Amino acid sequence: MLLYSSPSLNSFLFNSNSNSNFLSKNHKSLKSVPQTLRVVNNNDVDAFTEKSGYLFELSSSEADSLNDYDLKKIAAIYKRKPFILLRRLFQIGSTFGRWLAARYIDSITEKSDLMFKIRAAELRQILLELGPAYIKIAQAVSSRPDLIPPSYLDELSMLQDRIAPFSTEVALNTIEQELGSPIDMIFSEISPEPTAAASLGQVYQARLRSNGQVVAVKVQRPGVQAAISLDILILHFMAGVVKKAGRFNSDLQAVVDEWASSLFREMDYIKEAKNGLKFRELYGGIEDVLVPYMYLENTTRRVLVMEWVEGKKLSEVKDLYLVEVGVYCSFNQLLEYGFYHADPHPGNLLRTYNGKLAYIDFGMMGEFNQEFRDGFIEACLHLVNRDFDALAKDFVTLGFLPPTSDKEGVTKALTGVFQNAVAKGVSNISFGDLLGNLGTTMYKLKFQIPSYFSLVIRSVAVLEGIAIGFNPNYKVLGSTYPWIARKVLTDSSPQLRSSLQALLYEKGVFRIDRLESLLSESLRARTEKALVKSQLEDNDSKVAVKQILSFTLTEKGAFVREILLQEIAKGLDAFGLATLDYLTSMANTSIPFAASSSSSMTEEDMMNLRTFRRLMLILSGFQKNGGSPVELKRTVPSKNQNMYSEEASLIFYQFPSVEEILPILSVFPELPPELQQQLLLLPADLAGRLISRVTARTIRRVFL
């Protein structure tokens, strides 16, 4: 008999002491399983059925009308059932009221610390009695160890995968009714008890008769649709009251509607199976990511059959590499394809026994359209680069602020909110801290959380919460930004290219420091299991140069390559002028009584020369003085421009030496043939640009 060992409903785990042959050795065909074994052998009581079973009574027509979320239909149904509505309101008010009263008595009798664990356990029991809607809210909260006291965290975490199952006899009858055949015609073997249970259903291990594959069979709890419908109706009403009483800017009822829609989709197992197949197609090919196969032909609205997955919860194994894999996969979900897992609590993320990250439970998914994806990327880009004026515009685009907002006031407020958060560097930016800091000014700015964004926030915040559980210093935004930087540099989206152009050219001045930051961050976007740490400096430079060239010479790097060629041509032109000035100066010093000549270089030429030097250092993989960015400040020209001559001479002598540029040449044989060919074409392209620039300048100086 398969033991119920408190794994996640959707993880379908064996007991950690079992082996892969457990089912075949211990499970007989259903025909030979005694009827008594069909009843759950578990000491826990199904509190939801016991305390809230009165909600289950809906006619078949009423149940069918609630297949999709429709608040008007829900209201119409319970308008005809006023006593059930009143009974539910009384149940919610009395249970929470008693608990809050007990907490208040603890505080005035100074027993809060003593009773803390007891009250936490009582709260978990209350949520179990009230059912799925409240359990789902608690699951999201329990994924943030940085926000919840440990005692409450321990108790609420149990709601992720330690919920008493309902009757197995009811579950097996549901399977037969939904699939339209006796169970032994579909499965050659099935576990007599559920392997896991959660808020919406429970899971059995089985073997398909058709192909012999071991599968997980998820069966929906009776009554969840009726209970969730009524609770959402109540929560929607309460959200309206809270918004009016608290004068919130955000449309709380729209947020409830968004969450409710996703919850109703989660209750439809056919949609979940299709979501799983789509998720597998989009992300199943990512290295070390496992997405189980869905058997759509054996799936109905209330029964789901999918590939069996064995492993442990990611939060229990403390695998930092798989957390990074999860960050990369989440980046792809949110910002590449816009189809994302909106319920990534610890019970839905597993480390398989062969070291892969398994995603399961695809009932609650979200979609992020292209406009908002680009807007989110731009907001991250502007936040990291402290361009708060552009960030204010991004917030309007994303729907966080109304178009009529005072842009200057918003920019000033955002600067005050985020300045300190980003001052420590992108790798130290906490998503939770950003939300917390922003919350203090939300009301003043008329800031609102768009309904579509509530699931995005949940997805990102939960992922960071899982990582914080075993690495308190983990920052999900810091880990995601390298992938954002790479996307900004390579994406063909006109909106992102325009943003990149605006970011790199501030008031017409090329910001080489920003390009360097993007390039260096994009090179961190990798998820290899083992990175060589003990490399010599020359090898480090060589690796960096190879990565930069491999990126800029590809089709995806064409836009950045165009910018680099343009700036290098400007730099070579300025370098030529500086060389001419230097030779002229040397000639004048060798001639007695010769008048000193002024520099022919302009302020723009000096800027181009500084940028050129910086580009050469970047491309050579070598950075002096620890690679601190050069500040591109405009200098005030002196009357005779001797200052330009002196600065040009200084920069001239600081250019990388031949030895420092060697890494560029030494990686040439290691590049793929197509990239070598592309690299060989660059000198001719560069020469053409340089000739055009020199010719245009000569014409201007001669004729204008």
Burial class (CB in 10 A: 0-12, 13-18, 19+), 305: buried
Is beta strand 349-352 parallel, antiparallel or unpaired with respect to 311-313? antiparallel
Q: How far is the C-alpha of 345 from the C-alpha of 330, rounded, in Å?
A: 13
Three-class secondary structure of residue 195 per DSSP: coil
How many Å separate Cα 338 from the centre of its chain?
A: 11
Q: Which two tokens stand for residue 568?
A: 């290098």
Specify the residue for token string 């990388």. 656
CB 618 within 8 A of CB 519: yes
Nearest alpha carbon to residue 568 among 704, 391, 688, 460? 688
CB 606 within 8 A of CB 648: yes
CB count in 10 Å sphere of residue 337: 16
Q: Which two tokens stand for residue 34?
A: 């005694």
Is beta strand 349-352 parallel, antiparallel or unpaired with respect to 357-359? antiparallel
Total length of the chain? 704
Name the region of 641 (left: φ>0; alpha: ψ -120 to 50; beta: rest): left
CB 39 within 8 A of CB 168: yes
Q: How far is the C-alpha of 468 from the C-alpha of 186, rounded, in Å?
A: 43
CB 67 within 8 A of CB 82: no
CB 80 within 8 A of CB 47: no
Nearest alpha carbon to residue 490 among 536, 525, 538? 525
206 DSSP β-pair partners:
190, 215
CB 196 within 8 A of CB 12: yes
Nearest alpha carbon to residue 145 among 462, 465, 430? 465
Burial class (CB in 10 A: 0-12, 13-18, 19+), 25: exposed
Please list, residue by residue across 667-684, b when 16 or more beta carbons sit within 10 angstroms of its beta carbon and e when fewer do. Answer: beeebeeebeebbeeeee
290 DSSP β-pair partners:
358
338 DSSP β-pair partners:
none
Reply yes or no on whether 64 is catalytic: no
How many Å separate Cα 366 from the centre of its chain?
A: 12
Instruction: List the beta strands (DSSP E) in 568-684.
Output: none
Q: Which two tokens stand for residue 266?
A: 């989660």
Cα atoms found within 13 Å of the Cα of residue 226, Cβ hemisphere only: 23
Catalytic, out of 257, 343, 361, 387: 343
Three-class secondary structure of residue 497 per DSSP: helix
Point out the residues that are catalytic: 343
